[in-house]
Structure 1
Amino acid sequence: MSLKITVIGTGYLGATHAAAMAELGFEVLGLDVAPEKIEMLSRGQVPMYEPGLEELLRAHVAGIEGSSGRLRFTMDWAEAAEFGDVHFLCVNTPQKHGEYACDMSYVNSAVDSLSKHLRRPALVVGKSTVPVGSAARLAGRIAELAPAGGDVELAWNPEFLREGFAVQDTLHPDRIVVGVRGERAEKLLRQVYAGPVAEGSPFIVTDFPTAELVKTAANSFLATKISFINAMAEVCEAAGGDVAGLAEAIGHDERIGRKFLRAGIGFGGGCLPKDIRAFMARAGELGADQALTFLREIDSINMRRRGLMVEMAREGVGGSFLGKRVAVLGAAFKPDSDDVRDSPALNVAGQIHLQGGQVTVYDPKGMPNAKQVFPTLGYADSALEAVRGADVVLHLTEWREFREIDPARLASVAAHRLVLDGRNALDPARWRAAGWTYRAMGRPTA
């Protein structure tokens, strides 16, 4: 029997997962409660920028000429429950307002809405990032509500998507982690992921708590590595060292590795900041808060980087932003994404604007979202236009376009040739050769 799959929640994670499941050959039904999302996806359009996702979607959405027709969308819970053998929960788990803890209301609501329609054997699979202990609680809720009772099982299968590489990470994952309570759930998930497993993706079977912890532990480790090198950048600034050389030297140690060792203005986005805070909050609830007190300092170092970038820019323009024109290259929290949630680049731009600077932002993909968050900033249609008349240029999101840009061309339109590289990603020699004063966090000025 060919499995039929539903994907509950068609945001960033869900839309990617639904399209990838169709690509792997399954009949897929995506469900969302937002009609505008369903209409858009049904036309083969995605509500966010993610390289390769729209093409993948259009290859499978029913009704699009030349598509496989394996992917449809609905708002009907009963239809989804009747259709699916495996139901993936891909709904959002944001940070609670005014707290560190995770807001589980969307997950709880999705489980309740789906469960009461489950009248035949099925597997519900959580993919959302949740506090450890949630899976056991939700399994109890499903057993209580589902008409099919014990024939409906729960598994937990955390996602490890990197924005900008989400399609690749879903179709060719570096690992597949499944938290299960029985052989049937494991067997079904081995069927779902037979393609990637045949290609060599490791399939790791655990219990519920371990599967839930894998995601938050991985994000906490990455956050720690980023904040570590940023802390070293602060020491390098004080001691006259070069953090780029330091990172290269320690990165050759295979126990440390080179990835995530580029100092800059820190991490942001919709995952890392809220996930480490939720992890701290949950550890406190479990009585293990002392184990994660170091994450508070990781968070603090990360947030401090934004203020340090603002200070560096203020110094660069003579001590005050009043009457100064500031060009900001980058709005998205990372390249190859239009996501501006908790974006360090946009946060820095906003702080400078609030201190009287005339800020003009350019980002290849993130400006429509940036305008919604910070409508009072100036926006330009190109890097050249953003830099025109600028007293200082801030490079804050490491898009390839910015790394490859011609510094001499920008120099011809800037009022002052001062560039502050908030990502340590530009080539200092190229910029200095074009007449720019180049400065980066944790690096020598000359």
Structure 2
Amino acid sequence: MALRITVIGTGYLGATHAAAMAELGFEVLGLDVVPEKIAMLSAGRVPMYEPGLEELLSRHVAGIEGSTGRLRFTDSWEQVAEFGDVHFVCVNTPQKHGEYACDMSYVDAAFSALAPLLTRPALVVGKSTVPVGSAARLARLLAERAPGDVELAWNPEFLREGFAVDDTLHPDRIVVGVESERAERTLREVYATPVAGGSPFVVTDFPTAELVKTAANSFLATKISFINAMAEVCEAADGDVVKLAEAIGHDERIGAKFLRAGIGFGGGCLPKDIRAFMARAGELGADQALTFLREVDSINMRRRGHMVELAREAVGGGSFLGKRVAVLGAAFKPDSDDVRDSPALNVAGQIHLQGGQVTVYDPKGMANARGLFPTLGYADSALAAVRGADVVLHLTEWREFRELDPAELGAAVTNRIVLDGRNALDPVKWREAGWVYRAMGRPRS
């Protein structure tokens, strides 16, 4: 009999995972405690922007004409427990308010609600990013509270926003932390299609599986902050960080990815994951091993302040009062509407608080940006955003922005000054159109 799968938590991770499992041929039941989200997903719509996800969802949600009907959603824990052979827990693990540590309350609540209802053999699989040691504790919880023969496995997610569908269907690796051959066999059955397509299947213990995600994110954050530190040195030495990155990126031991200097990383994963990693290492008595991550975090946050100072210099070096500042970008990265810990919005907010008249435009993140920063100005297009601007800040590297006509924008601004916070625009094209082009870590001309 084919495995039946449930997905608990239908946010960014859960909705993508549920749709992908249906695409792989499984009967899937997704659970969420927010009725509005269940209604939206049941209609084949998603509450976030992720390329390809809505189409994938609509292909499988029951009740939609032409769909396979393999995917349904509910708010009933009893229904989930009765339905599933494999339960994927995909709830959020945010940073605790006022602390570096991870907030495990949603994970704990999910396990506590599910466990007493599991009366038959099942595998519960954690996908949320958690502090190392959590899996062992949650396995004990299942053993104590689940009436049936229930095991735990840990299967960290490695989704990149903007590429989540492909990352789920064609992952670059599948990591499973298990304690039995039965759990490993079950997960090999779940992931048989991507494994057959070449995805490596890495089997570990619980602690290693938990550490893989935080270690990977810490490495990526370190690489980004390294090139941003080099940008600071390049500015002091009149060097060019773009050429520096190109040169060292040819070294196969280093590689070119994540070597674009700019205003740093944000989003719902990297910042909070490296902070939670530091907090957990301290609890384990291994805090000295991760002290370098404090500087990684510091460099990252410093880049935002540096962009504010570049903007202040661009408008005359004094006050932002009475100055119009256009900000192109609100999402923390392109191909996403996610504005959590967005460097672009952080810069916009700082300038606004210092008296600047800030107008923001983003292709997909406007609604979320308005919700988070309602006092900023917003425009419906890049051209409208820059109208009358004393300086234009390019802060999210959307393709739309790279393809802008600098001559057309130049006719709308008060001063043709552009600050490229992502080193993604063509400086020659903008300078030929009469703009003063400045970018972080690059020569002034």
Matched with 1:276 is: 274
Matched with 1:302 is: 300
How far has the Cα of 1:414 moved from its partner?
Answer: 0.8
Counterpart residue identity of residue 134, structure 2? S
Residue segments in structure 1 that go unaligned for 5+ positions in a row: none
Matched with 1:401 is: 400
Matched with 2:45 is: 45
For 1:188 and 1:133, how far apart are their aligned partners in 2? Answer: 23
Q: CA RMSD in A?
A: 0.4
Matched with 1:125 is: 125
Matched with 1:381 is: 380
Tell me whether 1:323 sits opposite 2:322 in the alignment. yes
Matched with 2:93 is: 93
For 2:370 and 2:354, how far apart are their aligned partners in 1? Answer: 19
Counterpart residue identity of residue 275, structure 2? R
For residues 324-352 of structure 1, give each alpha carbon's deviation from its aligned partner in whole angstroms, at most 9, with x where no partner exists: 00000000000000000000000000000
For 1:127 and 1:290, how far apart are their aligned partners in 2? Answer: 28
Counterpart residue identity of residue 17, structure 2? H
Matched with 2:134 is: 134
Counterpart residue identity of residue 429, structure 2? R
For 1:264 and 1:331, how far apart are their aligned partners in 2? Answer: 15
How far has the Cα of 1:180 moved from its partner?
Answer: 0.1
For 1:100 and 1:153, how far apart are their aligned partners in 2? Answer: 30
Map 1:337-376; keep pairs closer than 5 Å.
337-376=336-375
Q: Secondary structure at the match of 2:375?
A: coil
Tell me whether 1:438 sits opposite 2:442 in the alignment. no
For 2:342 and 2:421, how far apart are their aligned partners in 1? Answer: 13
User: Normalised by the size of structure 1, how large is the TM-score?
Assistant: 0.99
Map 1:242-281; keep pairs closer than 5 Å.
242-281=240-279
Q: Secondary structure at the match of 2:100?
A: coil
Counterpart residue identity of residue 322, structure 2? G
Q: Secondary structure at the match of 2:346?
A: helix
Matched with 1:110 is: 110
User: Normalised by the size of structure 2, how large is the TM-score?
Assistant: 1.00
For 2:373 and 2:300, how far apart are their aligned partners in 1? Answer: 21
Counterpart residue identity of residue 324, structure 2? R
For 2:255 and 2:199, how far apart are their aligned partners in 1? Answer: 21
Counterpart residue identity of residue 329, structure 2? G
- 1:223 maps to which of 221, 224, 231: 221
For residues 267-319 of structure 1, give each alpha carbon's deviation from its aligned partner in whole angstroms, at most 9, with x where no partner exists: 00000000000000000000000000000000000000000000000000002
Tell me whether 1:58 sits opposite 2:58 in the alignment. yes
Tell me whether 1:172 sits opposite 2:182 in the alignment. no
Runs of at least 4 residues of structure 1 off by over 2 A?
none
For 1:70 and 1:269, how far apart are their aligned partners in 2? Answer: 32
Matched with 2:150 is: 152
How far has the Cα of 1:3 moved from its partner?
Answer: 0.4
Number of aligned residue pairs: give it.
444
How far has the Cα of 1:173 moved from its partner?
Answer: 0.1
How far has the Cα of 1:91 moved from its partner?
Answer: 0.2
Identity %: 85
For 1:77 and 1:188, how far apart are their aligned partners in 2? Answer: 22
Matched with 1:195 is: 193
Q: Secondary structure at the match of 2:87?
A: strand
Counterpart residue identity of residue 305, structure 2? G
How far has the Cα of 1:112 moved from its partner?
Answer: 0.6
Matched with 1:84 is: 84
For 1:441 and 1:308, how far apart are their aligned partners in 2? Answer: 9
Residue segments in structure 2 that go unaligned for 5+ positions in a row: none
For 1:259 and 1:427, how far apart are their aligned partners in 2? Answer: 19
For residues 48-102 of structure 1, give each alpha carbon's deviation from its aligned partner in whole angstroms, at most 9, with x where no partner exists: 0000000000000000000000000001101100100000000000000110000
